[in-house]
Amino acid sequence: MSAATPWSLLLHSGWPVFPLAALVESELREDTHVSLAVYRLGWKEPSENCNEEQEAVRLAASLYVGEGRTVKLTHIIDFFHQEVGDVDLVGEEFITAVARAKPRHPGVCTAALGVAYAALADALQCHWRRPTSTLTHQLIDIAVEKAQGGALRTFGEAADSFNALASSRWPLLPLLSRLQPRSAATSTGVLVSWSSREAELGGLNWAKNFAQEVFSFHDFVLEEDVDCADIFVYRSSLPTNFGGVLIFVDGEGSPADSLQEELLQSYPASIVVGPLPAGGDSVFFPVPYASTSFASRSFATPNSLLLPRPVDPEDRPGFAAYLVYKCYPHREGFFRLLDARGREAGLGPVETLSRCGDAGEIDRTSQRYAETYMDDAADLFRRFRFALVFENKIQTRYVTEKIVNAFVAGAVPIYWGSDFVAELFNPDAMIWVNSFESFEAAVEHVIRVASEPELYAAYASAPPIRNTSAGRWYFSWHRDAPSLDGESPTLREELAAAAMKMHVAGLDGSLPAVERRPFDYAETFPS
């Protein structure tokens, strides 16, 4: 690509030349032995003639683009006159202002200005993909065209356009390459997305699995990493410039523990799926992590807990397993009592599979052969008759993946935690330590169960999931879950309906805001 390359040729290339050129330039620049045309063209530092504010925008764009995300409009607006207005402004007034906006610093910081134009076009096109008004369609087309043209014109009018492109450190190029329809399918359905960064260390993405289970029907379109989706499922990775319905699916703790409480309280179209609510206007589905952890499992489903389980002790040579990350005193105390009594009774030791217990100075951790640590835990428990599954704390609806790991493995859980566990799981399928007067009494009961084959078989063969429609409801977000009684709506149906209700309310007669969509909670969910 030479300095004389016409912009029309680049435009008609379909844009792959831009990110490819960016990649090549980035790789070769690091090789000091390669003589590049970019240096012969007169390389200049990108910060030359740019103030700190302008340089910050260029660097921010590089970061966002490098992560495949849309640049926040709050990082862009300062490059244009104040007539553009507040980034929280809703509707046609904002679009009109953008369409007539002029750069505040023309011709001064070419690299940053071109990037700002391209980032603005990308954000507008992404966020207002399907407005309802014909007039708004036209205004958006004008605004996107203006921003796109401004980016190209900024560099096209430079004395040395290729050097100007290089000086932008290339975030402009992938931004321009994205100025095209995201997906033909998105025009016909409601777009549901999630971030690829929600993936576990082993590669499994719980958010993808959850979205597929809940929204794989009707006119929903599922696509990863679309910031401007209508519905976005997340736990830690939020979209940028988002104005749709947020679905926060909590892990072990609460929105406060996950540092999401303030956002969810103030965001007008949010849904919380977890043990504790966020408060504010967010709609709450009280579902513990023991249920939603199935989104982080490769093979097991809620219906797996209804399958026959082997009960022959000979198939499980190990007495009991102890696998935890945090060595809390209540866990360590029970472990030592049971380990001592197991050895004394000739049943064997409680084997430590992690950093706690008698692991010593060298931590013994999962080998991560599976896609997630939950798959690992279940695999490790399979050779044991019992598994110690103690929660971190006792809190409302705080029942986590730990007991499910034991059930999936076919081991009898020795459980300590919230009494809410009895709402989900069959008390006859586990030994609930909290129901005994003391740890010592619970340990003696475990020794008795382990010593009497018929009693052990009764625990090991009991179906884990509570045989009530109310208990099965907590797992009914999953397609492969126990059915409910009669015509009771599943959690999957209720969750999708709530998200659609918010989505329709947000689109009714107005555009979504740039970073927040207007939503009348009282009108949509009357008391």
Residues listed for the chain: 527
Between these two residues, 88 and 478, which has the higher pLDDT value? 478
Average pLDDT, the chain: 74
* pLDDT attached to residue 154: 58
Q: What are phi and psi of 490, to 5 degrees?
A: -80, 160
Strand partners of residue 207: none
pLDDT tens digits, one per residue of 107-122 = 556 666 667 777 777 7
Rounded to 5°, angle at Cα 248 from 268 and 467: 120
Tell me what the mean pLDDT of segment 331-340 comes to. 95
Q: For residue 52, how many other CB atoms are within 10 A of its CB?
A: 7
| Range with the poorest average pLDDT among 206-215, 292-301, 362-371, 436-445 | 362-371
Tell me what the mean pLDDT of segment 298-322 comes to. 84
**Under a CB-based contact definition with an 8 Å cutoff, are residues 412 and 430 in contact?**
yes
* pLDDT attached to residue 412: 96
* pLDDT attached to residue 186: 45
pLDDT tens digits, one per residue of 143-159 = 666 666 666 665 555 44
Tell me what the mean pLDDT of segment 80-106 comes to. 56
pLDDT band of 521, cuts 50, 70, 90? very low
Q: Is the pLDDT of residue 35 over 80?
A: no
pLDDT band of 67, cuts 50, 70, 90? low
* pLDDT attached to residue 101: 62
Q: Is the pLDDT of residue 382 over 70?
A: yes
Alpha helices by DSSP H, listed for 261-328, are 261-266, 289-292
pLDDT tens digits, one per residue of 235-251 = 988 876 566 788 999 88
Between these two residues, 88 and 251, which has the higher pLDDT value? 251
Q: Is the pLDDT of residue 286 over 90?
A: yes
Maximum alpha-carbon separation in the chain: 88
Question: Alpha-carbon distance 375 to 196, whole Å?
Answer: 20
Question: Alpha-carbon distance 397 to 289, whole Å?
Answer: 9
Which DSSP helix (H) or strand (E) runs through 246? strand 245-249
Q: 307-464 adopts what CATH topology? A: Rossmann fold (3.40.50)
Percentage, residues of the chain above pLDDT 70: 58
DSSP labels for 385-417?
Answer: EEEEEE-SS--TT---HHHHHHHHHTPEEEEES
Q: Is the pLDDT of residue 359 over 80?
A: no
Indicate yes or no: pTM above 0.85: no
pLDDT tens digits, one per residue of 158-194 = 444 454 455 454 556 666 665 544 444 445 578 899 9
Question: Alpha-carbon distance 410 to 387, whole Å?
Answer: 10
The SS3 assignment for 79 reads helix
Q: Is the pLDDT of residue 369 over 60?
A: no
Between these two residues, 239 and 326, which has the higher pLDDT value? 326
The encoded tokens of residue 432 equal 């609930």
pLDDT tens digits, one per residue of 204-232 = 899 999 999 999 877 788 989 887 788 99
Start and end residues for every CATH 3.40.50.11660 domain found in the chain? 307-464
* pLDDT attached to residue 129: 52
* pLDDT attached to residue 401: 93
